[in-house]
């Protein structure tokens, strides 16, 4: 983790970008604060609601998961098919609340980061505080540009789900913003208060 100034300082979203490497750990997550801008590097896994359901069902049966969950980051996305010569097609965040019923169980197993768009439920925010995990917001509407951050892409599980299968991605400087941190803070709520007309 590196940046020009200490995490959590300054106004909302006015900090220098933090370069993070996956997998994450509790110490790194604790040092992040809402509004921190992040450039993420390393391995992330995609997964939407169908894949999450299967992951949680497998965990409930005591079966091994298809990737190391400890310290993992899941990107709520389903990549479009890659054109010839491309690593991946367009890839953008899906609405995160669709995964809210599954996220606490995966955090209990060691998941440390989630990437998506939109607010999370109170239960998920509480689970992030309990298990010291973080939620990152990805930029919506620029899926073709986001694809440029992908250096490797391969399906590792649930191939029958098509674009909703679990992909293993290697990302380089994927731009994100911390929406929820390990202290239970919420960027959406704080921004509304900070910029509300009085």
Whichever domain contains 106, its CATH number is: 3.20.130.10
What length is written for the chain? 198
Q: How many domains does the chain have?
A: 1
Bridge pairing between strands 166-180 and 73-75:
unpaired
What are the tens digits of pLDDT across the range 93-118? 999 999 999 999 999 999 999 999 99
- Asked whether residue 149 is domain-assigned, the answer is yes
H helix runs in the chain, sequence order = 26-31, 49-60, 103-108, 122-131, 143-146, 187-195
* Domain presence at residue 88: yes
pLDDT confidence of residue 15: 65
Query: Which residue range(s) make up the domain with 118?
Result: 41-195
pLDDT digits (tens, 9 = 90+) for 47-81: 999 999 999 999 999 999 999 999 999 999 999 88
What pLDDT was estimated at residue 16?
A: 87
In a domain, 2, yes or no: no
In this prediction, residue 4 has a pLDDT band, given cuts at 50, 70 and 90, of very low
DSSP 39: E
Q: Is residue 82 part of a domain?
A: yes
In a domain, 107, yes or no: yes
User: Structure pTM?
Assistant: 0.90
Options 3, 31, 48, 52, the catalytic residue? 52
Asked, for residue 15, whether it belongs to a domain, the answer is no
- Residue 156, domain member (yes or no): yes
Task: Report d(CA 186, CA 18) in Å as an integer.
Answer: 19
Whether 52 is catalytic: yes
**Residue 10, domain member (yes or no):** no
Q: Give me the percent of the chain exceeding a pLDDT of 90.
A: 78
31 phi, psi to nearest 5 deg? -80, -10
Q: What is the mean pLDDT of residues 133-149?
A: 90
The neighbouring-strand residues paired with 37 are 177
């Amino acid at each position: 983790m590196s940046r020009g100034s200490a995490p959590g300082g300054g106004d909302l979203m006015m900090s220098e970008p933090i370069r993070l490497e996956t997998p994450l750990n509790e110490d790194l997550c604790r040092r992040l604060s809402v509004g921190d801008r992040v450039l993420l590097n390393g391995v992330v896994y995609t997964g939407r609601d169908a894949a999450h359901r299967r992951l949680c069902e497998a965990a409930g049966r005591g079966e091994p998961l298809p990737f190391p969950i400890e310290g993992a980051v899941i990107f709520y996305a389903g990549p479009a098919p890659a054109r010839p010569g491309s690593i991946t097609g367009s890839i953008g965040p899906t609405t995160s609340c669709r995964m809210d019923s599954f996220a606490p169980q995966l955090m209990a197993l060691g998941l440390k980061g989630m990437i998506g768009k939109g607010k999370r439920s109170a239960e998920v925010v509480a689970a992030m505080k309990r298990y010291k995990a973080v939620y990152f917001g990805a930029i919506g509407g620029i899926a073709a540009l986001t694809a440029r951050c992908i250096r490797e892409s391969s399906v590792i599980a649930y191939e029958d789900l098509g674009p909703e299968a679990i992909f293993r991605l290697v990302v380089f400087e994927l731009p994100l913003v911390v929406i929820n941190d390990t202290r239970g803070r919420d960027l959406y709520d704080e921004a509304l208060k900070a910029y509300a007309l009085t």
